[in-house]
Amino acid sequence: MAAEGHNVDANLVDMRPNHGHYFVKKTFGKPAYCHHCCDKIWGMLTTGYSCEMCNFVCHEKCLRTVVSYCSSVALQLIKNPVAHTWSAPCLIKRKYCCVCRKRTDDALSVECEVCEYYVHVDCSDLAVSDCKEAATYVANMESANTVQYHHMREGNLPKESKCIVCRKTCFSTECLAGMRCEWCGQTAHAVCYRQMDKECDFGVLRKIMLPPMCLTIPRTELPMEQLLNISSHDQPQSLSSPSKIQADDVSTSGEDVKEREDFEIIRVFDGNNSYRSQDSLRRYHVVRFYVQEKEDPHDHAVFVGNLPVSLAQRQYERILLKLLGAKEKPFTAIGPIYFEYGSLIITFNTPKAATAAVQKLQSAIYEEKKLIVLCLPNVQPQMIPKDVEPLLVLVNVKSGGCQGTELIQSFRKLLNPFQVFDVLNGGPLVGLYVFRNIPKYKILACGGDGTIGWVLQCLDIAKQDAACFSPPCGIVPLGTGNDLARVLRWGGGYTGEENPMDILKDVIEADTVKLDRWAVVFHEEERNQPTSSGNQTEMNEQTMNNPEDQTSMIIMNNYFGIGIDADVCLKFHNKRDANPEKFQSRLFNKTQYAKIGLQKMFFERTCKDLWKRIELEVDGRIIELPNIEGIVVLNLLSWGSGANPWGTSKEEGNFSKPTHYDGLLEVVGISDVSRLGLIQSKLAAGIRIAQGGSIRITTHEEWPVQVDGEPHIQPPGTITILKSALKAQMLKKAKKSRRGGATNATSLTHPHPETSESMSGPLGVPSTLGDPNHGKTTPDNTAADSDEEGDAFL
């Protein structure tokens, strides 16, 4: 440093009063790019300027117009710090550190899971806590007087980004340059972005965005990861609390004292060492805090899951009081209680009480299960514009290998992170409760057919107390079969190449359609066991008094199967349950299905003569069965990963054209395992047996059955399939000629043919019984030729 009164180096340009940079004139021996205008600094021996603090590089002509602040002073400029939520450290490709402006693929780095902030682990102490502020509602705020401003982030722009001001390319793969709004996605040059409109309209996602001004979160000591329902990651020492001093490091034995008496040991700790976001000594001195006394306009809700199922409310209260170590209720209310899932909501009137409860319960274990505890945000529905239908995103992160994890990160960055939920952390009920007061919204379920069924089942439970009784549900297919997604044009499986932004645009343009749902009722026949006359009389009385003990019900959305297809499905599920880590790809799963089918063909024929061993009734009429080993009852014209057992023959005969909203089921026979393989390979069709609104199957022995791909062994008895009163609205992807092309004439403002209600109930639907061999084989039997269903398989 130059002494006072001496001249400073002529090559040094001190811009610290303006943007904190400490520029030094530099001759670049290799190609360099200006971080301000993105242009190349031409020539191998060209002179430019570089900041000694943050490595910002620019032309001499750009020196006086630089608008980017130096990392050394950026911490002092944050008025309302919002902590980032860091990912696990890794080498991040094709990104730049927001602190030192160097590439992140040459050193361990982390990224924020909510915004586009990237930083080296070694630079994390200087990371600016300026994440997206996703909950900004305060008491007495009015929607008409609220303005949302851009949240600009420098660098790491998407490819082909265009400046909103000058319309020229503004992204760079060579340096950290350009500006981008974290909410609307508008991009601009650093020299142009000051000319942008200050108000942000959320861009193309405005119609499904949950506005920050409608959300409140408790002002607590809880980390942002827990408030956002994000699983915590193991972090390196520079991002977490420092290791404890080991005992041998501070040994005080006499010998050690003698050896060290001429030395003085000083330890300085300057890391993240507490629960609060601003905990480094260096950060403490450079960050300014603005303390304001604000009233919380709402009660504070805490979700508690993994409790025992089907208990009484008083029993749940006793469990909570015991875990909280309290004699009196510290919460103001309990409920709703989701008895089927062993989860509930408890409400507190102060954030301090809610925080204390969360900190106690999150480490609690009951009946050898760790509780799931989440502090939930609160939505103020009056602050949501009338033309906005927020999108509730529910993601199964374990579906499709690691694709669910990638998707949930993308959706958190594109949308408000408080509208994106991981269903493995509390289930769909968490998000449905948060959205309970919104009068109109949509759902995007990301997972396989099992996840979609789970979401619809939870919606049946939660909608009783919700302002929106039946929100339409879209799908991102992450499973193996994805049959419902195929029918609704969302495709046969997410590959990872699709742009998440395009998926959200498709949700906005999607049509709302009806989906029939069916109740599959299993009733076991009474088992005759040798007993004494007295015990027999007692057993008969119990059976007469409790007939429901032998009856169960499952809601069906896609299809039901009994016999050979359910047997193969059951063997596959048993293998997957034994080694779940091996079943991570669709190709491997389908290969295992084929392998099991071949084993059944040559070595096991357990379903032989099924047609002689069961009875089938359709709408009260007994049906004579052909020589088959399996029966499939279809609600969709997609089964077993896109196959169509019903076939696409134009000769419908006495059958009506099937749809998923006509109140009818299609009954198809499968002759043997070889025909099953041909159907799944889309080379043949099954045997059309009947079409009707109620199905009854009587069995006298155990049979493998499956409902929507979930198999089990069913004891002898009756299986009845009836139209359920639980209806669902789904989102069907609009037709497009090409990606980005115009949609078809059907839009959300025009009624769709499928939005009409089904013709009649389960007992009033006329059945259509046809020749068992009608439509038996057609080489081209996929659903691609069907007007209503076919586009799913294109």
Beta strand pairing call for 511-515 and 109-111: unpaired
In the numeric block, the tokens 């109740």 are attached to: 519
3-state secondary structure of 58: strand
Domain-by-domain residue ranges, the chain?
A: 1-201, 300-376, 381-509, 520-526+550-726
Residues 6+ apart with CB under 8 A from 6: none
Q: What pLDDT does residue 107 have?
A: 93
DSSP assignment of 392-417 equals EEEE-TTTTTTHHHHHHHHHHHHS-G
Instruction: Give the three-class secondary structure for 772.
Output: coil
Q: Report d(CA 588, CA 117) in Å as an integer.
A: 36
Helix axes 564-578 and 673-680, enclosed angle (nearest 10): 70
Which are the contacts of 370, defined by CB distance < 8 A and separation ≥ 6? 306, 364
Find the DSSP H helices in 560-609: 564-578, 586-602
How much is the pLDDT for 40?
87
- So what's the pLDDT on residue 633? 96
Task: Match domain 520-526+550-726 to its CATH number in 2.60.40.10, 3.40.50.720, 2.60.200.40, 3.40.50.2030.
Answer: 2.60.200.40
The per-residue pLDDT for range 25-39, each reduced to its tens digit, is 988 888 889 999 888
Q: Which residues of the chain have pLDDT under 70?
A: 1-18, 44, 220, 232-298, 400-402, 527-549, 581, 583-586, 590, 593-594, 596-605, 650-653, 737-794
DSSP 668: E
What Å distances lie between residue 681 and 639, 640, 676, CA to CA? 11, 9, 9
Please tell me the predicted confidence (pLDDT) of residue 104.
95
Q: In sequence order, which residues have a C-beta less than 8 Å from that of residue 383 and are 6 or more positions away? A: 137, 141, 143, 146, 211, 213, 214
Q: The domain at 300-376 falls in which architecture? A: 2-Layer Sandwich (3.30)
pLDDT given at position 681: 81
**Which residues lie closer than 8 Å to 240 by C-beta, 6 or more apart?**
271, 272
Nearest CA to 718 out of 523, 529, 587, 517 is that of 523
Residues with Cβ within 8 Å of residue 317, at least 6 apart in sequence:
329, 334
What distance in Å separates the CA atoms of residue 399 and residue 446, rounded to the nearest whole number? 8
Give domain 381-509's CATH architecture. 3-Layer(aba) Sandwich (3.40)
Q: Which two tokens stand for residue 315?
A: 């029993």
| Contact between residue 640 and residue 686 where contact means Cβ atoms under 8 Å apart | no
pLDDT value at residue 750 = 38
Amino acid found at 120: H
